[in-house]
Amino acid sequence: MIDASEIRWYWYDKHCDNLPTVCQSRPIPFLWRASGSFFHPKRMASGSGFGFQRSLFHRLGADGKMLRPTIEPTPGFSASADAERLHRAMKGAGTDEDTLINILARRTNHERQQICATYESLYHKPLRKAIKDDTSGQFRTVLCELCHDLPYILAKGLYYAMKGLGTNDRVLIEVLTTLWNDEVKAVSDAYKQVLEHEKADRADRTLLSDLTSDTSDHFQYALSILAQGQRDDLPVLQLKAVPEKGVATVVNKELAEVDAKELLAAGASRVGTSEKRITRIITGRTTFQLAADAEAYQRMFGKPLLDDMNSELSGDYRSLIIALIRYATDRANLLAEWFHDAMTGLGTKDYALMRLLITRSEDPKHILITNVCFINEEFIAKLFISWKSYNKNESAPSDKVQSLGAVLQKLVYLRSPHPPGKLRQLSS
């Protein structure tokens, strides 16, 4: 939800670079937030943008501290200047791949959307089409994905996870356990666009209907709750005050103790397990409240909530519940493991890696999310070890290794021109 006090109406022209502003040619209405981000109301309605709350839920750590994203809005950003540089990089014989990487991997998703719109306006050709015509292989794929907005990328991942025989449950868990209510709405709307682009067999298909038909039992029940965006919410102004006033302002300690007792009663203290009771609590709480629940469980019963969930639950349902708890309590290592899984094991998972890099590198406030606000040297070191192993062991064409590696570098440790300590040692 967007607090009305946080927004103002401005007229913004898509051909202008300074915001907010009043332009003479073809003005269109935008909402401008006091935080400095903005969105087009029609785009929000069609699922191509995230609401204001995402930037706060995902940028605040379990301790309430505001965490810095890897990629932040570009100082002096000019969509027209970037569009012109991209055009020159693909004009004539040969392609200046460094320019493509340095621009598209250094811009926030929102800035990339502005670049795409400006490029098409200036050169009467979609930027994705220009990239497709001038590049090849996985390099082309990842650059084209960078031109999509985040909800569409996530929706596309969900679609392909359920397409054909079998279901990639890991992708369903990775995406749906990390979305908040407004994000679920945006991804659900974008899913309809994906169905249209993929020429789906039935017009009445939705994200929820596909999840219901492709999964079963407790896993299906938990996914359906997440896909309906029914998690507890917090007022924006209350969230904004957390870094200053602390997590206690958004956590109910009495509820945490009640939840802890109910989770024990539904699992470890009884014969059999009441999955529905567990699902209702774990899928319904905010990340802050869920972290408080886990802390209360440890304090009251002398054992980690994660350990009991691991022993009491099974299969994909267990993986989903564990992911929800860890996203609240151990986010950095959870993300590191997802990156590692995308780069190891049987076969290569190129699209999974691309989706993680693009969507987890940008905070929802249109800034890059590897919740990378959370990413420290240990995380980066783990990731780099995985990447070195991926390059060495996977039978990947050289263009895949070089281009994905270049984008990986830009997206993950862009904050410094040189890799930080551990990473610098590993890369030597």
CATH of the domain at 116: 1.10.220.10
Same domain, 116 and 207: no
Do residues 108 and 54 both lie within one domain? no
Evaluate if residue 390 carries a pLDDT over 80: no
In a domain? residue 90: yes
- 380 near 415, Cβ under 8 Å? no
Q: Are residues 20 and 95 in the same domain?
A: no
**Same-domain status, 178 and 233:** yes
Judge whether residue 30 has pLDDT over 50. no
In a domain, 66, yes or no: no
SS3 content of the chain, % helix, strand, coil (to 5): 60, 5, 35
Convert the pLDDT of each residue in 239-253 to its tens digit: 888 989 989 999 999
End position of a domain, from candidates 273, 298, 330:
330
Are both 216 and 249 inside the same structural domain? yes
Q: Can you tell me the mean pLDDT for 172-184?
A: 92
More confident residue, 375 or 282: 282
- Considering the domain architecture, whether residues 344 and 392 belong to the same structural domain is answered as yes
346 and 394, same structural domain? yes
Q: What is the rounded CA–CA span in Å between residue 72 and residue 367?
A: 5
Residue 238 and residue 54 in contact, taking contact as beta carbons nearer than 8 Å: no
**Closest listed residue to residue 236, CA positions, set 35, 370, 68, 66:** 35
> 0.85 cut: is pTM over it?
no
Name the 3-class secondary structure at 344: coil
Q: Are residues 362 and 230 in the same domain?
A: no
250 secondary structure, DSSP code: G
Q: Check residues 215 and 375 and name the one with the higher pLDDT.
A: 215
Q: Cis link prior to 75 (omega < 30° from 0)?
A: no
Domain with 99 in it: 79-146
Is the separation of the CB atoms in 313 and 278 below 8 Å? yes
CB 240, CB 250: distance < 8 Å: no
Among 309, 330, 351, residue at a domain's last position: 330
Q: What is the residue whose two structure tokens read 């909402």?
A: 31
Do 186 and 87 fall within a single domain?
no
Domain-embedded: residue 170: yes
- For the chain, what is the radius of gyration of the CA atoms? 22
- The two tokens of residue 190 are 């974008």
Spatial CA neighbour of 374 closest among 140, 121, 129, 68: 68
Q: How many separate domains does the chain show? A: 4
pLDDT at 100 over 70: yes
Whether residue 324 lies inside any domain: the answer is yes
For residue 116, the SS3 value is helix
- Provide the mean pLDDT of the chain: 74
Residue 362 sits at the vertex; the CA angle it makes with 84 and 233, to the nearest 5 degrees, is 135
Is 72 part of any domain? no
Distance CA 183, CA 427 (A): 37
**Cis status, amide bond into 20, omega within 30 of 0:** yes
Q: Are residues 142 and 159 in the same domain?
A: no
Q: Say what the pLDDT of residue 198 is.
A: 86
- Boundary residue ending a domain (295, 330, 365): 330
70, part of any domain: no
Examine the domain organization and report whether 162 and 230 are in the same domain: yes
Q: What is the pLDDT of residue 203?
A: 78
112-129 confidence digits (pLDDT tens):
999 999 999 999 999 999
Residue 247 lies in a domain: yes
In a domain, 26, yes or no: yes
Together in a domain, 106 and 210? no
- pLDDT of 320 > 90? The answer is yes
Model pLDDT, residue 117: 94
